[in-house]
Structure 1
Amino acid sequence: MHRSQAAVLQAQPAQARVVELERELDQARQRLAVVGSGEKVAQQANEQSRLTIKLLEEQIYKQQQDLAFYKGVLAPGSRRDGLRIRTFELQATDRPRHFRYKLLLSRVGKDDQPLEGQLTVTVEGRQGDKDVSLPLAELTRGMPDQLAEPVVPFSFKHFQALPEAGRFAELQLPAGFEPSQVKVRAEVKGEKPLERTFKWINEE
């Protein structure tokens, strides 16, 4: 009981800090969109905005790790402990058929042993008149944070992001492919696989 009360008190400022950092991140992204000319000064401001965004994303990730731990401690006993697929975030970019993505995993429970398993992510949609399922790794080829293999191993105690440190990575859709949803499947040895689907966003 004392542990739960302490976790509540510690989680509140962490949650407030996440909200504050996300507001700063939105402002930084807006500044980045404004300074879009080819002037040298604008380029310097553009780079500074990118560094600010990266720093804020890393700070938010750290706060989210803390919150995941507190929520694991406070989780009702009736809920099944173990892995959670929290979110798959998608953002459109200024380039057609290019998107930014981030996947977040967490766990419920007080076990401090690392949770190990493997993850597969596929983008489902239509190519012409056929239903098609494309591995995320295929869509990240040539990108800075490209995935080497379709199956991604993971090992974490409370919280993990793909890519690491809470950054966003990029993917590119092939011509003619119309996505409808993203399917995330996580497997932990000895447990039933966990699956979750996320609807695709409009590119507008």
Structure 2
Amino acid sequence: MAEVKGSKQHRMVVVPYRPVRRVLVALVLLVLTAAAIGASYYWGYHQGASEQSGAVAERNRLRQEVAALTEESEQLRQQVANLRLGAEVDQQASQEMRNQVIELKEEIAALEEDITFYRGLMSPGDNNTGLTIGSLNVLATGIPRQFEYKLVVQQLATDHQVLNGNLTFKIVGRRNQQTETLSLHQISEQEDSENIRLRFRYFQNIEGRLTLPENFEPERIEIVARSSGRDSQTVEKKFGWLVQEL
């Protein structure tokens, strides 16, 4: 055969023509491919089923744990609520008990004060007889510059006779940098005279409501009581301005 100049020449090989063999090879390859696909599917299915079974078991276990924890949490919450309620009840009971103790102490103190007061009236000391200025209380009313007052004047004696006399009640303070004295009748509607009349056998309460003028700053209260008659007495007592809040 003539060669063509300038082109690369390939060697030619003669191969027998066998169509049946080609078909067999193709069938074998097809069977192997199908077997591989089937094996892969079976393995994947088995593996998936196994994993799914494990996942279901794990899910069921977690559900049981969640239910148990939920129940435990509810029990703990109930215990906390019970403890809190018990603490509140105990605190309330303790506060009520404390209040009762305070009230009883105040009641006992008041009773002891009354006993001392009446005992002094009926059995005074040798050096403490006759007209006496007792306690003075000034209470806030909640209204600016308005106060309630209660003064006790008493007679200490073993043989009580009716005591007559009079009393002056003055408040000393400062207004506009100047010392000023106010008589009770000037600032209280309960009194109409500077000299308050005294007439009692055991004791007499002098009480009412007073109103301080603007810019007046009280400093003290001065009380002077005088009895009349054969054994007349004059007693004086000063109290600092002390207001008891309501």
Match of 2:209 in 1: 170
What is the one-letter code of the residue matched to 2:191?
L
Question: Whose strand proportion is higher, 1 or 2?
Answer: 1
Distance 2:194 2:123 in 1: 34
Deviation at 1:173, TM superposition (A): 0.3
Amino acid at match of 2:201: K
Give, as a single letter, the amino acid of the residue that structure 1 aligns with 2:162: P
1:6-65 per-position Cα deviation (integer Å, ceiling 9, x unaligned): xxxxxxxxxxx9x53988xxxxxxxxxxxxxxxxxxxxxxxxxxxxxxxxxxxx9xx95x
Where does 1:1-204 land on structure 2 (aligned, <5 Å)?
20=107, 64=114, 68-77=117-126, 79-141=127-189, 146-163=190-207, 169-189=208-228, 190-201=231-242
Amino acid at match of 2:121: G
Higher-Rg member (1/2):
2
Q: State the 1:201 CA deviation.
A: 2.1
CA contact (8 A) 1:98 1:170 kept: yes
Distance (whole Å) between structure 2 residues aligned to residue 113 and residue 203 of structure 1:
34
Shift of 1:192: 3.9
Q: Quickly say closer, same or farther: Cα 1:67–1:100, change in 2 above 3 A.
A: same
> SS at the partner of 2:121?
helix
* Cα pair 2:137 2:244 within 8 Å, conserved: no
Given the superposition, is the C-alpha separation of residues 73 and 104 from structure 1 closer, same or farther in structure 2, using an over 3 Å criterion? same
Query: In the superposition, relative to structure 1, how do residues 201 and 73 fare at CA in structure 2: closer, same or farther (>3 Å)?
Result: closer
Shift of 1:107: 1.5
Unaligned runs of 5+ in 1: 1-16, 24-59, 164-168
Q: Residue 187 of structure 1: CA displacement?
A: 0.6
CA contact (8 A) 2:121 2:156 kept: yes
Question: In structure 1, what residue type is equivalent to 2:226?
Answer: E
Contact 1:68-1:106 at 8 Å conserved across structures: no
> Shift of the alpha carbon at 1:92?
1.4
Which range moved further: 193-202 or 114-123? 193-202
When you count helix as a share of all residues, which structure comes out higher?
Answer: 2
Cα distance 1:75–1:125, how it changes in 2: closer, same or farther (>3 A)?
same
- Identity between Structure 1 and Structure 2 (%): 27
Query: TM-score, length-normalised on structure 2?
Result: 0.50
Give the Cα separation in 2 of the matches to 1:173 and 1:183: 16
Q: Secondary structure at the match of 2:119?
A: helix
- Give the gaps of 5 or more residues in structure 2: 1-103
TM-score, scaled relative to structure 1: 0.60
Q: Conserved in 2, the CA contact under 8 Å of 1:68 and 1:159?
A: no
Matched residues in 1 for 2:178 and 2:219: separation?
13
CA RMSD, Structure 1 to Structure 2 (Å): 2.7
**For 2:243 and 2:167, how far apart are their aligned partners in 1?**
25
Q: How big is the shift at 1:181?
A: 0.5
The one-character-per-residue Cα deviations of 1:69-123 (angstroms, maximum 9, x if unpaired) are 432332233x231011011110112111011110001121112211110011000
